Amino acid sequence: MDGLSTILERRSCRVYQDKPVSEDVIHNLLKAGMYAPSAMNSQPWEFVVMQDAEKKEAVSQIVSYWSMLKKAPVAILVMANINGYRAKPDEFFVQDCASSTTCILLAAQAQELGAVYLGLYPHEDRMKKVREIYNIPEHIMPFSIVSLGYPESTSNPHTTFHTHKVHKDEY
């Protein structure tokens, strides 16, 4: 799959086949997440590979529409380590982790996986519960979760290019 097709054909997927995701594929997803751009090349991201069924079940109960985690063979928790962050900690780690999450989503699409982005940051209650479940230290900011698996069915690509949202040289 070429890069533009990967972007244009990616859709959120919440229903997965009962099929494991190989360690090689997980490694490729993590690698994609680590290749994201970051402010001052700070690379604040750290990851938890979520495979334990009981822990995924506990996380799925934090927000009602996260129920797909129960059946997802794997998920990736994207976090920011703000210790030693080169940019100001309150400035760009959000963009850095959003870029990392997006790279994971695109890598999943390129490897024929279905995925969906679950937001944690800036919801302190969600972050606290995930921090407790995964024993995450205070200087690590839980940012997002990417739920992953082989899709149960395929979805049609988006067709949402809106010319009225494009402006040239001024608004």
Q: Does residue 61 form part of some domain?
A: yes
Q: Which domain holds residue 52?
A: 17-152
**Cα 27-15-6 angle, rounded to 5 deg:** 55
Q: Does residue 105 form part of some domain?
A: yes
Report the CATH number at residue 48.
3.40.109.10
Q: Does residue 165 form part of some domain?
A: no
Closest CA to 153 of 7, 17, 25: 17
Q: Does residue 90 form part of some domain?
A: yes
Q: Directed axis angle between helix 93-110 and helix 23-34, to 10°?
A: 140
Q: Does residue 91 form part of some domain?
A: yes
Neighbours of 125 (CB within 10 A): 10
Pair 143, 14: CB distance under 8 Å: no
Whole-angstrom Cα distance, residue 146 to residue 123?
Answer: 16
Q: Does residue 37 form part of some domain?
A: yes
Q: Does residue 46 form part of some domain?
A: yes
Pair 21, 75: CB distance under 8 Å: no
Closest CA to 15 of 144, 147, 163: 147
Q: CB under 8 Å to 3, separation ≥6 — which residues?
A: none
User: What's this model's pTM, rounded to 2 decimal places?
Assistant: 0.94
Q: Directed axis angle between helix 124-134 and helix 53-60, to 10°?
A: 170
pLDDT in tens, the chain (171 residues): 688 889 888 999 999 999 999 999 999 999 999 999 999 999 999 999 999 999 999 999 999 999 999 999 999 999 999 888 888 767 899 999 999 999 999 999 999 999 999 999 999 999 999 999 999 999 999 999 999 999 998 888 778 899 999 999 999
- Domain total of the chain: 1
Q: Does residue 168 form part of some domain?
A: no
Say what the pLDDT of residue 44 is: 95
Q: CB under 8 Å to 153, separation ≥6 — which residues?
A: 15
